[in-house]
Amino acid sequence: MKPSVRPILLLFLLAGTGLGGYWLGRKTAPPPSPAPETAAARRPLFYRNPMNPQVTSPVPAKDDMGMDYVPVYAEGLTPSAGSGEAVIHLGPEKVQKLGVRSEPARRRALTHVIRALGVVEIDERRVHAITPRFEGWIERLDVNTTGQPVRPGEVLLEAYSPELVSTQEEYRIAGSGAASRALREGAIQRLRNWNVPESWLRRFEASGEIQRRVPFASPVNGIVLEKNAVQGMRFMPGDTLFRVADLSTVWVIASIFEQDLGHVRVGQTARIGFKAYPDRSFDGRVAYVYPTVTDAVRTARVRIELANPKQLLKPAMYGDVTLQAAETEPVLAVPDSAVLDSGTRQLVLVRLGEGRFEPRPVETGQRVEGYTEIRRGLSEGEEVVTRANFLIDSESNLRAAIGGFSTEPAPAPTDHSMPGGH
pTM of the predicted structure, to 2 decimals: 0.62
For residue 7, with 0-12 CB atoms within 10 Å meaning exposed, 13-18 middle and 19 or more buried, which class applies? exposed
The overall average pLDDT reported for the chain is 81
Predicted confidence (pLDDT) at residue 1 exceeds the cutoff of 60: no
Domains recognised in the chain with CATH numbers: 56-108+330-404 (2.40.420.20), 114-124+247-324 (2.40.30.170), 132-240 (no CATH)
120-163 pLDDT tens trace: 999 999 999 999 999 999 999 999 999 999 999 999 999 999 99
Of 295, 360, 350, 273, nearest in space to 104 by CA: 350
Pure H helices in 80-197:
92-98, 162-173, 178-193
295-336 pLDDT tens trace: 899 999 999 999 999 999 999 999 999 998 877 788 999 999
Q: What single-letter DSSP state applies at residue 220?
A: S
Of 108, 129, 157, nearest in space to 332 by CA: 108
Cα(370)–Cα(336) distance, integer angstroms: 5
User: Residue 8: what pLDDT?
Assistant: 53
